[in-house]
């Protein structure tokens, strides 16, 4: 006697039943994320979608050494060559697991899936689902279809049909959240494949963004990061060139929202109204990620970066004049085709002049499908490596000098979760200063009941500086318990609900900026 499910499966239909490994046991999932902040946020949505569909997160810590999630999702990056190598290497590790357990499902999404499409199945024929950047909401249905039809499903759309922020989202912490304001990019940088994979810029309406932020704040979030491939182009789709600065100011009027950040802008479109909004809106933090890519005017022209060194340094000068304590970070590419020693020295000159507090530095990686991939005069790898090492040394030297200037200063930190790898051994906690610098601080002298929670605020005095962090080893000057800390405590003592629709979840966090180039 056949069941209703068997009839449906025979017809290739989706039953809508909750997925399960065995009767009464929901299937588990794991999302593995590569690349930029946009991918991190997309992975939050993928988790929310799967939990809405009845899957449960795989508890790696509580599972056996050889245990594996029932569904493994790779959310991929296509910006650099090692991202390809990492994906296919990790897929190959799952091949014998899949052979031993055919019920395991493997899905590949994100930018590489959008780019490679059928190539993924040629190189890894055991993959069950391939989906692109424009249809992440299809993942649960594609998994169901792959199981019912017992064949791989490939679905790639060429344009966005539903703005991702309308999808269920499972955020990773209770005190801070990403909020997408746009997706896609209208720039044509010759080294970047992202616009071809993410599409033209699509903007959310300001009211939708502010409604999402207000819902997050109502749930205890006190820090948000506005996210887009090119945030200061926000408004181009509805014809308001000052929409981004207006949005920053509107965030300033949301009661309970203590910190506002954004990433990433583009120097060509970074205007003075944004600088003024940053300076005049108290909860907009004094931190700015401003991608440089190169300090050479000739290389910037070859990259199709529509600004030059003088314009870039002019922006930095105006930001520092309006916001003296601003910490400025950047992205830099070394070894772009045709880069000479003179070009490279121009980049070093900008690093010295701009006084970056940190820089994400990259050796140029040829990406098929980009104009730069076919340029003549590719720089020899040994030359690229030498320049890269010299650049990193200078960046660290400058960052260390900037950090040393903060020794003795009192800073207010938002306590962070999981950012200090040695915190347990050193009896320290970690937090982020207003300018986003990482500070490890001592909690000696505080009773257990008085320890600050993630999301709480502490005042500390900086006692030591390293190139990539600060230390405050004197007694904590003050602890301010917050709604965000309360939300974190609730989350750790009560079960978390599954994904919540409309992009208005109960908890959220942006992880620390990953060392991946933004599309700015």
The yes-or-no verdict on residue 63 having pLDDT over 50 is yes
CB 118 within 8 A of CB 150: no
282-295 average pLDDT score = 97
Q: What is the pLDDT of residue 16?
A: 43
Please indicate whether residue 30 or residue 64 has the higher confidence score (pLDDT): 30
Q: Which long-range contacts (CB under 8 A, 24 or more apart) does 309-318 make?
A: 309/346, 309/350, 311/267, 311/268, 312/267, 312/350, 312/354, 313/350, 313/353, 313/354, 315/267, 315/270, 315/290, 316/290, 316/353, 316/354, 318/272, 318/275
Q: Tell me the CB-side half-sphere exposure of residue 261, using CA atoms within 13 A.
A: 30
The residue with greater pLDDT, 151 or 21, is 151
In percent, the amount of the chain with pLDDT more than 90 equals 64
- 317 has pLDDT over 90: yes
Q: Which residue has the higher pLDDT, 426 or 345?
A: 345
Residue 192 assigned ligand-binding role: yes
Q: How far apart are CA 127 and CA 91, in angstroms?
A: 8
Q: Please spell the DSSP secondary structure of 217-263, one letter per residue.
A: HHTT--EEEEE-TTGGGTTGGGT-TTHHHHHHHHHTTSTT--EEEEE
pLDDT (average), residues 35-57: 87
Identity of the highest mean pLDDT range in 27-36, 233-242, 315-324, 509-518:
315-324
Provide the mean pLDDT of the chain. Answer: 87
What is the arithmetic mean of pLDDT over 99-125? Answer: 90
> Which neighbouring-strand residues pair with 415?
431
> Chain-centre distance of CA 245, in angstroms?
22
Task: Specify the CATH number of the domain 409-490.
Answer: 2.40.50
Residues 6+ away with beta carbon under 8 Å from 448: none
Tokens of 385: 């490596």
Instruction: For residues 367 and 369, give the distance between their C-alpha atoms in angstroms, rounded to a whole number.
Output: 6
Whole-structure pTM value: 0.81
Tally of CB atoms within 10 A around 17: 11
Tokens representing residue 11 in the block: 């017809």
**C-alpha 189, offset from chain centre:** 20
Q: In sequence order, what are the residues at sequence separation of 6 or more whose Cβ sits closer than 8 angstroms to the Cβ of residue 517?
A: 36, 79, 80, 291, 331, 333, 360, 362
pLDDT reported for residue 161: 65
Taking the C-alpha atoms of residue 513 and residue 358, their distance in angstroms, rounded to an integer, is 11
The whole-number average pLDDT for the span 15-28 is: 62
pLDDT score of 503 more than 50? no
Give the pair of three-digit tokens for residue 187.
């720039």
CA 444 – CA 68 distance, rounded (Å): 40
Q: How far apart are CA 289 and CA 424, in angstroms?
A: 30
Mean pLDDT of 448-476: 96
CATH placement of domain 28-155: 3.40.50.12160
Residue 13, C-beta contacts closer than 8 angstroms, at least 6 positions apart:
148
pLDDT at 520: 59
Starting at the edge strand found earlier in the chain, the sheet holding 176-180 runs: 176-180, 223-227, 259-263
CATH topology (fold) of 164-405: pyruvate-formate lyase- activating enzyme (3.80.30)
Per-residue confidence (pLDDT) for residue 344, from 0 to 100? 98
Residue 287 pLDDT exceeds 60:
yes
Equal fold, 28-155 vs 409-490: no
Is 189 one of the annotated binding-site residues? yes
Spatial contact of 47 and 499, defined as CB atoms under 8 Å apart: yes
Q: Write phi, then psi, for 176 (nearest 5 degrees).
A: -145, 155
In total, the chain counts a number of residues equal to 520
Q: Above pLDDT 70, what percent of the chain? A: 89
Return the pLDDT at 1: 34
Ligand-binding site membership of 251 (annotated): no
Contact 408, 367 (CB under 8 A): no
Helices (H), 62-205: 81-100, 111-116, 118-123, 139-149, 194-198
Nearest in space to 219 (alpha carbons), one of 163, 248, 257, 251: 257
Where are the chain's structural domains? 28-155, 164-405, 409-490
Mean pLDDT of 313-336: 97
Residues pairing with 129 in the sheet: 107, 153
- Rounded to an integer, the average pLDDT of 290-314 is 97
| Cα–Cα dist 107/125, whole Å | 12
**H/E/C letters for each residue in 119-148?**
HHHHHCCCCCEEECCCCHHHHHHHHHHHHH
Calculate mean pLDDT across residues 35-46.
Answer: 82
Sequence-ordered strand ranges (E) for 243-326: 259-263, 287-289
In this predicted structure, what is the pLDDT of residue 23? 52
Strand pairing report for 223-227 and 428-432: unpaired
The Cα 94–Cα 104 span in angstroms is 9
Does residue 467 register a pLDDT over 70? yes
Residue 484 clears pLDDT 80, i.e. is over it? yes
> What tokens appear for 136 in the block?
């992440």
Mean pLDDT of 244-257: 98
- Residue 481's pLDDT band (boundaries 50, 70, 90)? very high
Instruction: Summarize pLDDT for 199-233 with one digit per residue, the tens.
Output: 888 899 999 999 999 999 999 999 999 998 899 99
Torsions phi, psi of 483, nearest 5?
Answer: -65, -35
From the number of C-beta atoms within 10 Å of its C-beta (0-12, 13-18, 19+), residue 383 rates as middle
Read off the pLDDT of each residue in 112-132 and give the average, rounded to a whole number.
90
3-state SS of the chain: helix, strand, coil percent to 5?
Answer: 40, 20, 40
């Amino acid at each position: 006697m056949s069941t209703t499910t068997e009839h449906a499966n025979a017809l290739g239909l989706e039953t809508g039943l909750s997925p399960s490994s065995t009767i009464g046991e929901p299937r588990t999932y794991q999302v593995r994320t590569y690349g930029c902040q946009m991918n991190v946020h997309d992975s939050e949505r993928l988790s929310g979608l799967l939990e809405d569909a009845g899957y449960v997160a795989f508890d790696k810590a509580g599972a056996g050494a050889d245990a594996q999630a029932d569904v493994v999702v790779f959310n991929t990056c296509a910006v650099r060559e090692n991202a390809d190598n990492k994906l296919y290497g990790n897929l190959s590790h799952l091949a014998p697991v899949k052979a031993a357990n055919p019920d395991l499902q493997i899905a590949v999404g994100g930018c590489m899936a959008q780019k490679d499409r059928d190539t993924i199945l040629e190189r890894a024929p055991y993959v069950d689902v391939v989906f692109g950047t424009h249809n992440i909401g299809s993942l649960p249905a594609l998994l169901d279809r792959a199981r019912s039809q017992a064949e791989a499903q490939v679905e790639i759309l060429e344009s966005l049909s539903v703005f991702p922020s309308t999808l269920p989202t499972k955020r990773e912490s209770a005190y801070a959240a990403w909020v997408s304001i746009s997706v896609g990019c209208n720039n044509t940088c010759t080294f970047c494949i992202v616009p071809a994979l993410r599409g033209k810029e699509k903007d959310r309406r300001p009211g939708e963004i502010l409604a999402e932020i207000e819902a997050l704040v109502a749930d205890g979030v006190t820090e948000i990061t506005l996210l887009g491939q090119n945030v200061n182009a926000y408004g181009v789709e509805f014809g308001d060139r000052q929409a981004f600065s207006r949005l920053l100011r509107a965030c300033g009027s949301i009661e309970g929202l203590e910190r506002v950040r954004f990433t990433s802008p583009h120097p060509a479109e970074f205007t003075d109204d944004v600088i003024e909004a940053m300076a005049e809106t108290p909860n907009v933090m004094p931190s700015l990620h401003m991608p440089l890519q190169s300090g050479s005017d000739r290389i910037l022209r070859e990259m199709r970066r529509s600004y030059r060194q003088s314009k870039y340094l002019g922006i930095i000068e105006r930001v520092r004049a309006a916001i003296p304590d601003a910490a400025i970070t950047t992205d830099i590419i070394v070894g772009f085709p045709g880069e000479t020693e003179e070009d490279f020295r121009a980049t070093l000159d900008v690093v010295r002049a701009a006084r970056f507090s940190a820089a994400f530095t990259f050796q140029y990686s040829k990406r098929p499908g980009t104009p730069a991939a076919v340029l003549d005069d590719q720089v020899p790898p040994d030359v690229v490596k030498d320049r890269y090492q010299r650049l990193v040394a200078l960046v660290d030297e400058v960052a260390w000098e900037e950090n040393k200037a903060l020794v003795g200063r009192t800073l207010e930190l938002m306590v962070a979760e999981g950012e200090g790898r040695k915190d347990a051994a050193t009896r320290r906690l970690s937090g982020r200063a207003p300018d986003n610098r990482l500070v490890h601080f001592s909690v000696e002298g505080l009773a257990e009941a008085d320890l600050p929670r993630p999301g709480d605020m502490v005042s500390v005095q900086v006692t030591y500086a390293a190139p990539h962090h600060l230390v405050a080893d004197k007694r904590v000057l003050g602890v301010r318990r917050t709604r965000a800390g309360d939300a974190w405590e609730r989350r750790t003592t009560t079960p978390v609900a599954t994904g919540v629709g409309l992009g208005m979840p109960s908890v959220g966090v942006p992880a620390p900026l990953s060392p991946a180039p933004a599309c700015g």
